[in-house]
Structure 1
């Protein structure tokens, strides 16, 4: 019999908190069962397996991060939107490293289901980039550049990869200045300037 009070949403929230505290790789059905004071089998009526649990963490993280970014960029354009977007992205990743790690998982279409947060994230990114006068395929290329830059920077920051005495926040700010300059002079996919 399933212990009263355990729901998929509570399991997901507990797993997300566990991921943030201990790392995504440390999240397990057994660890959650211990936390809830039940046997592992009790949780399988709410979650099929560890993969599904991690996908749920990824979707929760994507929704939370997208909400923060949307709030940050509302009413902004150009460099103001870029900085607000990037800062909200970075702040979320630093505050919730396990959830953020889950958002980087490759998800199959059937795992995503009807989750609107991932589509909304793409729409927010493209909306911000359109203010720079970009259209496809440049929107996709610029979006990939931003994601890889943000992710690489955050990954290095979380792992202690920046040992120089210069404050990391100042380097982040200068990186955003450089990205803004790049986006304002983005070459078209044909090789010319905008």
Structure 2
């Protein structure tokens, strides 16, 4: 019998808390059922299985990071917006080490809320790039560049892979300053690429 008051939203939110404690790769339905105080078969009343839970967790985490990025971008443009959004992205990854990897999952086309969250997150970066005059296909390149740089940094930071004797914050700040320079000097349409 399912626990009274338990629903899919509560299950996913508890999974989000649990995954931050145990890590993205260590979340299991059995551990979640134990955490919720229900038998494993009862959990299936609220979530169809591990894959469905992973998708729902991704939707939740993507919405959270998109909200944080959107909030800090409001009223800013150019380098100020770039710094604020990159810092919010990094802060989310640090505060939610288990949820953050779930944000990297491609949104499920059958889940409108997940799609909308993904579009909001990417839309913030597109808006920053428009402020630099980068649009169209060039903006896709810019979004990929931003994501590769910031995701790469926070992933390496999360696994403790920055061992050189320099403050990691200084390196992050320099990387974002370098992105600002790159975006300010982005070739305009018709201009030959530097390559």
Give the structure 1 partner of residue 144 of structure 2. Answer: 144
Compute the TM-score of the two structures, normalised by the length of structure 1.
0.94
SS, match of residue 90 in structure 1: helix
Which shifted more, 151-160 or 183-192? 183-192
Partner Cα separation in structure 1 for residue 153 and residue 69 of structure 2: 18
Q: Please report how far the alpha carbon of residue 190 of structure 1 lies from its aligned counterpart in structure 2 after TM superposition.
A: 5.0
Matches within 5 A, 1:104-115: 104-110=104-110, 112-115=111-114
* Cα pair 1:12 1:53 within 8 Å, conserved: yes
Q: Unpaired runs of 5+ in structure 1?
A: none
Distance 1:63 1:145 in 2: 21
The answer to whether the 8 A contact 1:137-1:189 is kept is: no
Q: Report the alpha carbon displacement of residue 7 of structure 1 after superposing the two structures with TM.
A: 1.1
Q: Normalising by structure 2, report the TM-score.
A: 0.94
Residues 103-128 of structure 1: per-residue CA shift (max 9 Å, x gap): 11234412x33432111112211111
1:72 and 1:88 in contact (8 A); partners too: yes
1:92 corresponds in structure 2 to 92
How far does the alpha carbon of each residue in 1:118-166 deviate from its partner, in whole angstroms, 9 at most, with x for none? Answer: 1111221111110000111000000000001111101100000000121
Task: Note the aligned Cα RMSD (angstroms).
Answer: 1.4
Q: 1:64 corresponds to which residue?
A: 64
5+ unaligned residues in a row in structure 2: which ranges?
none
Q: Is the 8 A contact 2:20 2:97 kept in 1?
A: yes
Please say if residues 21 and 98 of structure 1, whose CA atoms lie closer than 8 Å, have aligned partners that are also in contact. Answer: yes
SS of equivalent residue, structure 1 residue 166: coil
1:107–1:66: structure 2 CA closer, same or farther, 3 Å change rule? closer
- How far has the Cα of 1:191 moved from its partner? 5.0
Kindly provide the CA deviation profile for residues 54-92 of structure 1, in whole angstroms up to 9, marking residues without a partner as x: 111111111111111111111000000000010000000
- Following the alignment from structure 2 to structure 1, what is the Cα–Cα distance between the partners of residues 89 and 159? 17
For the pair 1:187 / 2:187, whether they are aligned, the reply is: yes
SS state at 1:98 partner: coil
Q: Report how far residue 188 of structure 1 moved.
A: 4.2
Give the 4+ runs in structure 1 shifted more than 4 A. 188-191
Give the equivalent residue in structure 2 for 1:21.
Answer: 21
Aligned residue in 2 for 1:155:
155
